[in-house]
Each structure stands twice: as C-alpha cells, then as structure tokens.
Amino acid sequence: MNKPPEPSPGKGIGRAGVSALGLSALGIVFGDIGTSPLYTLKTVLGMTGGVPSPDVVLGVLSLIVWTLIMITTVKYVILAMSIDNDGEGGILALMSLLGIKKHQRPLIVALGLFGAALIYGDGAITPAISVLSALEGLKIATPAVEPYIVPAAVTILIALFAIQPLGTARIGKTFGPIMLLWFVAIAVLGVIGIARHPAVLAALNPIYGLHYLFSNGYTSFLILGGVFLCVTGAEALYADMGHFGSRPIRFAWSVVVLPSLLLNYAGQTALVLDGTPISDNIFFRLCPDFLLIPFVVLATVATVIASQSIITGAFSMTRQAIQLGWLPRLRIRQTSEEGYGQIYVGVVNWLLMIVTVGLVLAFRKSDNLASAYGIAVAATMLLTSGLLFIAMREVWGWGLLKSGAVAGVFICIDSAFFLANLTKVADGGYVPLLLASLVFGTMLIWHRGSTAVAQNVDQLSIPVDEFMASLKSRNIPRVPGTAVFLSRTDSATPPVMIWDVKHNRALHENLFVVNAVTESIPWIDESERLTITEVQPNYWRAKARFGFMEKPDIPAVLKAASLQNHSLDFDDAVYYVGHIEVVAREDGQGLAEWQQSVFAVMERNSMHVSDFFRLPKDSVILIGRQVAI
C-alpha cells in the first residue's frame, strides 16, 4: 500500500523545512496564478472601451488587489486550508469530508462532483491561454513573428503532453527555483513601473475599486469577469495542500507570491497612467528592450510550468474520483518513488492535449481565449463556498449566524464573479461548461451503472451457512489449496464463488473472501487496514480498507493477513475474479438504452479488476457472466 510520508507535509517541521517546501510549492502550486499578470490587466482594460481615464485605471487595479486579498488570501489561504480531510484539500476532498457526517447527501455529492468536473474545463484552457500569452510578447520585439505564434504554441503544448509519460520527478526539482526567479523578476519590473508613476499606490485603498464598481453601471459589472482572471489559480492552493501541507503554501504565498503579484499589477497600471497604450501587451512593456527576448523565454517556461501543475492536478483528481467510485478504472502509472503525487493517467493526458490544442487553433489569440476562461473556476469557487458554509457548521461547530455571515461574504463575491462570467458564455465560455457537463455526465452514468450491476449481482447472493450446507449435500469435492475471492458483499456468499462451483463442480479447501472498500478519507492507518473473521471452518472473510488517495494492493493485504493468522498460506493462492458483460434489461425498467450503451463501453475499456488490485497475473481465474442493467 502507498502511505504518505510521516510526518505529513508541512507538519512538525522547522522554518528551514517550511522554506524548502515553500520553494517546491512555488513550482507546483502557484504556476497558474503566478502567470495571470500576463493577460489579466490587458484583458480588463480592453473591456473598458476606448482610452481609460486615470480613475478607471486606478479602480481596476484596486479591484484586482482586493480580489487577490479577499479570495485567495482570506478565503483559501486562511479559511479553506484550515478545513482539510486528513491533510488533503480540494473540492472532492471537502465533499468526502462532509460525506463522513451523513451517508445520504446527494446535494453535497452533486456540488462536489460538478465542481471537480469544472476544473477539467479549466485544465484544458489554462495551458492554451498561458502559452499563447507568453509567446505574444515576441510581437513587441519582432512583429514579423506573429504568423508563427500559433504554430509555436501548438508545438510547445504537444511537446508538454508528450513528455508526461516520462514523469516530472526530475524536472520538478527545477520548477521551484525557476518560478522563484519568475516572481522576483516580475516584482522587480513592477517596482520599476511604480517608480515612473508612484501615485498608482493610491489604488491600495479599496474605495477606488468600490467607487468604480458602483459608478459605471453595467460596464463595471462586466469587467468583473476580467478581474476574476487574477485569481484563476487560487483553487490549486487548496487542492494541492496534501502535497506540501498548509504552512509551506501559506509561507510561499505571503512572502513571495502575493507581494510579487501586487507589485507587478501596480507596475503595469503605472505604465498606463504614464501614457503607455493598452493596445499592446502591457506586461511586456515593463521589460527593458534589451531584456525582452530573455524575459519572453522565462515567461514561456513559467507558463509551461503552470500548465504542468494543471495537468498533474487533473491526474490526481482523476485518481480520487476513481477511488470514490465516480469514474471507471483507468490505468494509473506511478512515475516516481519519491512522491505519491507523481502519477500518469494516459487517457486524461491525451484527451486534455486534444482539447487544449484544439482551443489554440480555434481561438488563436489569448484575448479570444480570455472570453472562455474564468467561468469554470468561478463556478467551482462558488460551489466551494457553499461547501465551506456546511463545513463551518459541522466541522468547526459554528452557529448559523456566524457561519452564514462569513460564508455569505464569499458567496456574494463569488456569485458576482460567476454572473459576470456568464456574460461570456456566447463568446467562448460555453467551452469549459460543455467539457464539465461531459465529465459530470460520465461520472453520473458510471456511478448509476456500477450501482445497477452491484444490485443485480447481490440478488444472486446466498447466505454462507446455506451455501456451505449445499456443498455437503451435493458432495462437492474440496481440493487442496487456497482460493481468494474478490467480493462487494459483506456477509453473503460471493457470486463468483457460486459461479465457480457451478462451472467446476469443485472448491478449494481454504476459502478467503476479500471485500475492498474505498473510504472517504485519503489515507488509512495500517492498524485499521484489515479485519478478518472466520465465518466457517476454513472460510475467512476480510474487509480491506483503502483511502481515496491510495492504490489498492490485495497481495499486500493478504501478506498482512498471513501475519495475523499463521494458518493462512497464500503462496500458491488462486484468485477468482468475476468478469461481467453488461446487457439491457428485457423489462425496460433499467437504465436508459443510451446510458446502458455508454456504461458498457466504459466497462469494456476500463482497467481490469486484476490490474487495479495488483493481482499476480499467472494466478488469476476469470469467470464471466452477463448482467442486465
């Protein structure tokens, strides 16, 4: 079994350890939000129409500054990261945490799953808009390169996805220092810009933002959709908490990332106040001409790192969804022994690549992609705020008034951003919503189909006492050795055992039934991993518990079982696995025909049970059967 390192990340370590983990977090957690200055201010000022006045420019900067403070710092860094599921964060982990309290919570499950599905939409757009924005800086130095920007972006993205099977363990060690250089660089450039027009610092006063927001009518409301781009990576801070712990992430955000972002946004705004036209990319105008090419290269590398973190996050979220039973079993490959988060999911990787490259070819400019960007993250953040309200009540024990007041502030802010982003649906915002709907629908169909299969199989169950008695009455011979049966049932005879006797008219002398259960917590302590009960002579039943961040390993469980009970010998054990073929029910009462067809395709192409549980291939016997759903 895979267990997290002890102590868990970020806990029980000194300042030096927090600093080291904080440096690593710069390369994994902050890539998305750290590269948002490439396009955010340019997009927002472009939405104001014409040449913005100084009051408008300062109002926009004030909105960006206080959005970073309220959403990222207060909501995520301070509040959300204080509510974790055994050290894990993110909307799926939060959903599972609340699910521990009550098992039947369909609304919470729906909120969590749709929020997770929306992140896939964000994961496809982030690499496209980030790489395009970085390469567009070359137009300032050499306008003749414009026809080559899209092909270059496509080439970089294909190369990025192509190297994913190699793993990022070695490359990841360099991510932190490179992103530290990036943040230092954008901070220094920001200071240079501020020096040209120090009056820009007045925007730190929230009054400027509020005045602009409430004095420009519908235009200022629409601009919120652009302002929101400055916090599109905030959800990653919470989702990646399990990799580093809360202390290193909070340290890196407070000491490096937030100051650098604020300085750079202020520097860009200072250039605009100083008369720099907003038609070009303001971000690259901060850079001296002789450093422009190296800075574009650094920006491109930073956007690749940001894209890498999004892809890795999609892999991790896919594993969580599989373990929780909401996605079919996909082949997951561990690419490094150094970190459990270093995994590769081929299907997700290539699908993301197809969608991302398709977005670049369809939209061609970062300005056009900005219209599609943000709505998915805004919706996820709104759903997270709703779950945080429930967590404040149930996990922290806060009263209704206190929880409502705190969560209500963020729900109002998130709702404003979400509604503003809804206006971009026709201009491209439909893309992440469509992707999220496809993922969400896939999750629901898989879960419904799996539940229908389990109910069908359970109907064939026979009590163990009755089954064992029938063996004697029918004189079924018992052959030497141990047979291991994987089963979903906790008490009855496993259907695969019944099928085995029906086909072979014999049964092993020692019977060991394993029910592997994925719990709503990330990790299971080894002392609580396995419970064994001898329900009949030479008939044992075991319940193996796994966390949703672990890779189930049945042979390792059996090794632990043999240590608990020395009479059990699994050296020559035979593993019996049921293999089903899904067919439609004749009475028409099952799943809709199209859902049954989709589920059947997923079932046929999912990772085999024997591979999922890491069973020895030369000791597995498959017994097939048709199941009507």
Model confidence pLDDT, tens digit, residues 205-244 = 999 999 998 887 888 888 998 899 899 888 877 877 776 7
Residues 572 and 522 in one domain: yes
Q: What is the mean pLDDT of residues 1-27?
A: 61
Output the pLDDT for position 258: 96
Better pLDDT: 335 or 621: 621
Calpha distance 231→39 (Å, rounded): 12
Residues 471 and 419 in one domain: no
Let me know if residue 385 belongs to a domain. Answer: yes
Q: Which of 164, 156, 170, 25 is nearest to 89 (CA)?
A: 25
Counting runs of H as helices and runs of E as strands, what totals does the chain give?
27, 8
Residues 409 and 523 in one domain: no
Q: Which of 423, 439, 469 is the last residue of a domain?
A: 423
C-alpha distance from residue 135 to each of 106, 184, 302, 388, 399 (Å) = 45, 20, 11, 38, 51
Burial classification of residue 405, based on how many CB atoms lie within 10 Å of its CB (0-12 exposed, 13-18 middle, 19 or more buried):
exposed
Count the domains in the chain.
Answer: 2
Q: What is the mean pLDDT of residues 441-467?
A: 83
Full-model pTM:
0.76
Number of Cβ atoms within 10 Å of the Cβ of 595: 18
Q: What is the mean pLDDT of residues 32-61?
A: 87
pLDDT surpasses 60 at 84: yes
Calpha distance 245→609 (Å, rounded): 33
Residue type (1 letter), 87? G
Pairing between β-strand 478-486 and β-strand 507-518 as defined by DSSP bridges:
parallel
Output the pLDDT for position 337: 54
Structure tokens of 229?
């781009």
Let me know if residue 208 belongs to a domain. Answer: yes
Residue pair 609/459 in contact (Cβ under 8 Å)? The answer is: no
Residues 404 and 467 in one domain: no
Let me know if residue 18 belongs to a domain. Answer: no
Q: How confident is the model at residue 277 (pLDDT cuts 50, 70, 90)?
A: confident
Through-space distance between the first and last CA atoms of the chain, rounded to whole angstroms: 33
Better pLDDT: 370 or 34: 34
Provide the mean pLDDT of the chain.
84
Q: Which of 382, 401, 423 is the last residue of a domain?
A: 423
Output the pLDDT for position 566: 67
Output the pLDDT for position 1: 45
CATH code for the domain in which residue 226 is found: 1.20.1740.10
Q: What is the mean pLDDT of residues 124-133?
A: 86
Q: What is the mean pLDDT of residues 416-438?
A: 87
pLDDT surpasses 70 at 588: no
Residues 141 and 100 in one domain: yes
Output the pLDDT for position 101: 46
Output the pLDDT for position 172: 57
Let me know if residue 433 belongs to a domain. Answer: no
Output the pLDDT for position 182: 94
Let me know if residue 12 belongs to a domain. Answer: no
Residue type (1 letter), 625? R
Residues 305 and 415 in one domain: yes
Residue type (1 letter), 319? R
Residue pair 417/70 in contact (Cβ under 8 Å)? The answer is: no
Per DSSP, helices labelled H in 364-505 are: 366-372, 375-394, 400-422, 430-458, 464-473, 495-504
pLDDT surpasses 70 at 424: yes
Pairing between β-strand 343-345 and β-strand 478-486 as defined by DSSP bridges:
unpaired
Structural domain span for residue 169: 38-423
Residue pair 497/576 in contact (Cβ under 8 Å)? The answer is: yes
Residue pair 574/508 in contact (Cβ under 8 Å)? The answer is: yes
Calpha distance 168→264 (Å, rounded): 29
Let me know if residue 376 belongs to a domain. Answer: yes
Residues 413 and 462 in one domain: no
Residue pair 132/281 in contact (Cβ under 8 Å)? The answer is: no
Residues 361 and 272 in one domain: yes
Residues 130 and 217 in one domain: yes
Crossing angle of helices 375-394 and 400-422, rounded to 10°: 170
Of 38-42, 427-431, 520-524, the least confident: 520-524
Q: Which of 377, 401, 423 is the last residue of a domain?
A: 423
Q: What is the mean pLDDT of residues 255-278?
A: 92
Q: How confident is the model at residue 102 (pLDDT cuts 50, 70, 90)?
A: very low
Q: How confident is the model at residue 2 (pLDDT cuts 50, 70, 90)?
A: very low
Let me know if residue 303 belongs to a domain. Answer: yes
Residues 382 and 522 in one domain: no
Calpha distance 67→540 (Å, rounded): 58
Output the pLDDT for position 357: 94
Residue type (1 letter), 243? H
Query: Of all residues in the chain, what percent carry a pLDDT higher than 90?
Result: 23
Residues 534 and 402 in one domain: no
Let me know if residue 571 belongs to a domain. Answer: yes
Residues 525 and 581 in one domain: yes
Computed on alpha carbons and rounded to an integer, the radius of gyration of the chain in Å comes to: 27
Residue pair 579/625 in contact (Cβ under 8 Å)? The answer is: yes
Q: Which of 28, 431, 40, 461 is nearest to 252 (CA)?
A: 28
Q: Which residues contact 142 (CB under 8 A, 6 or more apart)?
A: none
